[in-house]
Amino acid sequence: MADCAGTKRDGSRCSLAAQGGSRWCWAHNPEHAEQRVQMATKAGRARGPGAEITDIKQHLKKWMTGVVEGKFDKSKVAVAATVGGVLVRCIEAERRIKEQEDLIARIEELEAMDRDRAGAGRFYG
């Protein structure tokens, strides 16, 4: 069985086996590109930044109510809220990084497809 013709993000060759008479493994096969994007999107939503933001909002609401009712020390809640704000900014930075990595991977995949098409048009004889 032949190795996949694809390359990894680090530029090295894919070590997986090509599938079903194709030059590609499932992860590099251009026919599966849209399905891979959909799967990655779905996986990210399963328990991603949105869930963390929801958790932070729940804590903030609890702390706000606790301060108003006199159950929590407002200076401690202020520090916790500040840390929560930093956490939200970190989550947003992670989201942007992941988005950029996904775009880079898609561009690399398109470039590899373009190189393969250009190479397929050459005649060696």
Residue 68 has pLDDT above 90, yes or no: yes
The predicted pLDDT at position 50 comes to 78
Would you say residue 39 lies in a domain?
Answer: no
The predicted pLDDT at position 70 comes to 93
The predicted pLDDT at position 10 comes to 85
Confidence of residue 124 (pLDDT cuts 50, 70, 90): low
Dist. CA 85–CA 25, nearest whole Å: 42
Number of structural domains the chain divides into: 1
**Mean pLDDT within 108-121:** 82
- Residue keyed to tokens 């963390």: 52
Would you say residue 58 lies in a domain?
Answer: yes
Dist. CA 114–CA 90, nearest whole Å: 36
Confidence of residue 44 (pLDDT cuts 50, 70, 90): low
Dist. CA 108–CA 82, nearest whole Å: 39
Mean residue pLDDT across the chain: 85
Residue 123 has pLDDT above 80, yes or no: no
Would you say residue 26 lies in a domain?
Answer: no
- Secondary structure (H, E, C), 75-125: HHHHHHHHHHHHHHHHHHHHHHHHHHHHHHHHHHHHHHHHHHHHHHCCCCC
DSSP SS3 for 17: strand
Domain that holds residue 74: 47-120
Would you say residue 98 lies in a domain?
Answer: yes
Confidence of residue 108 (pLDDT cuts 50, 70, 90): very high
Would you say residue 86 lies in a domain?
Answer: yes
- For residue 31, the number of C-alpha atoms closer than 13 Å in the C-beta half-sphere is 7
| Position with higher pLDDT, 93 vs 116 | 93
